[in-house]
Amino acid sequence: MSLKLGLIGFGTVGSGVYERLVQSKDEIKQLLGKNIEVAAILVKDRQKKRVVDVDAFVTTDWDEFTNAAQFDIVFEAIGGVEPAFTYTAEWLSKGVPVISANKKLIAEKGQLLEEIAEKQSTYYGYEAAVAGGIPIINNLKGTLATTSISRISGILNGTTNYMLTEMIEKHRGFADVLLEAQELGYAEADPTDDLEGYDAWYKIRILSRLCFGKWPVADEFPRKGVSEIKDWHVEVGERLGFKIKLIAEAWKAESKVSGQVTPAFLTQTEPLANVRGVTNGIAIEGSSIDKLLFIGPGAGKEATANSMVEDFLFHERSYNTKRGLGSVEKQVEETYTYMFIFLDHSERDEALNWAKQNEIAIVDTFSHHEGEGWIMEGTEASPFVTYPIFGDVSTRNRLKTVHSAQFGAF
């Protein structure tokens, strides 16, 4: 007896899944006691030249694909909400499990798809949708299933982390690094999802569901990307020993789950500050575990394909997909207590009046030829360019003026 597998999509991820399944068929048989066979592949363009030799029925026609076999499982490796949602919902409604790497689909429609899967006593797996090669989803479902979690945070977008790392370590300008990221294939021709924080926003909503037992309301998770970061903001932070990162986080405060995606400065005491380049990092906090840190490749053909296949094996051996809200856990009131405000020289008087009116303490100020940076206590909403600061601000390097103008034009 063999398991019949279907594959939707045969691009970078889809071809990687196929290769991984073929290479691992003996190990999979040993684990599951069954042979596997990729019976059919649904592609967008049948004439497209493919690097991988395929021993399966390949079609562009949905009806041909659905009738090609009695599938035991389907891998969905395309992007976007449609037609991926329609395809996924149809298979789940038939009781056929689906494994996906489609973060946008899962964030936007995951609750409905999980409900369909539960009604049909099947499963919907999405390990590969978050942090590529890091096995975070199934750790939350399996090993940490009863562990109460108060906060999860992470660097979930490799493109922006690569760009910010280059800006910090090599004193390069935003525009220059973005162009290189596109040339290296880290950023798309249209990098909006990465730069405006959408990619990380989808992923933190998925992680929030796994940590806190329910799907978050999208509007309650504000999102801010990196496109408004100025080169001199990065420079001032770097001179202080701070590193700017795009941080996605979710936390439980009383009975409510909150979250956000925002650029933030991390001090030397923060483990995620050392996550460099295209690497992803995730920190999980709770009273019984203190802090767990996961670091690894956030994307890539092999890493993502590996996660999809391991997701399949995890679910075949265990149908544990539920996680409830932890009942005994310290609530998180604030995730940071300091903020970094950047001002044009013309905004100085206005900022002083704002701080006085709101009784906000100015901890330190730094001068740059393009403006000023102020470290301030509190989390008050600011009319100026503001970044949270995570970690111990007392570890900052001591300086008053940053004269350098090494960074390129924004």
For the stretch 66-112, pLDDT in tens is 999 999 999 999 999 999 999 999 999 999 999 999 999 999 999 99
Cβ burial of 69 (10 Å; 0-12, 13-18, 19+) is middle
Please state the three-class secondary structure of 75-127 as a single string: EECCCCCCCHHHHHHHHHHCCCCEEECCHHHHHHHHHHHHHHHHHCCCCEECH
- Tell me the mean pLDDT in the region 378-401: 89
Mean pLDDT of the chain: 91
Of 104, 109, 141, 203, catalytic: 203
Please state the three-class secondary structure of 168-192 as a single string: HHHCCCHHHHHHHHHHCCCCCCCCH
Q: Are 294 and 136 in contact (CB under 8 A)?
A: yes
Q: 3.30.310.10, 3.30.56.10, 3.40.50.720, 1.10.8.50: which CATH number matches 2-134?
A: 3.40.50.720
% of the chain at pLDDT higher than 90: 80
% of the chain at pLDDT higher than 70: 91
Pairing of strands 290-297, 279-286: antiparallel
Instruction: Cite the residue boundaries of each domain of the chain with CATH code 3.40.50.720.
Output: 2-134
Q: Pick from 194, 159, 198, 196: which is nearest to 180 by CA?
A: 159
* Secondary structure (3-state) at 28: helix
How much is the pLDDT for 46?
66
CA distance 212 to 193: 25
Q: What is the pLDDT of residues 271-308, one digit of tens each?
A: 999 999 999 999 999 989 999 999 998 888 898 999 99
Q: Which of residues 254 and 375 earns the better pLDDT score?
A: 375
Q: Is residue 203 among the annotated active site residues? A: yes
Say which amino acid occupies 171.
H
Q: Pick from 345, 346, 353: which is nearest to 382 by CA?
A: 353
Query: In 12-95, where does DSSP find H-type helix?
Result: 12-23, 25-32, 62-66, 84-93
- Tell me the mean pLDDT in the region 320-324: 50
- CATH superfamily for 135-297+323-410 is Dihydrodipicolinate Reductase; domain 2 (3.30.360.10)
pLDDT band at 256 (very low <50, low <70, confident <90, very high): confident
pTM (two decimals): 0.92
Q: Are 235 and 257 in contact (CB under 8 A)?
A: no
Instruction: Cite the residue boundaries of each domain of the chain with CATH code 3.30.360.10.
Output: 135-297+323-410
- Tell me the mean pLDDT in the region 15-33: 94
The CA-CA-CA angle for residues 258, 127, 207, to 5°, reads 5
Dump strand ranges (E) for 132-255: 151-155, 243-253
Tell whether the torsion through CA atoms of 229, 235, 236 and 242 is positive or negative. Answer: positive
How much is the pLDDT for 265?
98
Q: Which of residues 189 and 195 earns the better pLDDT score?
A: 195
- Tell me the mean pLDDT in the region 357-382: 93
pLDDT band at 132 (very low <50, low <70, confident <90, very high): confident
Strand partners, 4: 37
- Tell me the mean pLDDT in the region 336-347: 95
pLDDT band at 185 (very low <50, low <70, confident <90, very high): confident
How much is the pLDDT for 45?
77
CA distance 70 to 354: 66
- Helix 103-119 crosses helix 198-212 at what angle (to 10 degrees)? 30
CA distance 192 to 302: 25
CA distance 122 to 316: 10
Q: Which two tokens stand for residue 16?
A: 């990687």
How much is the pLDDT for 278?
93
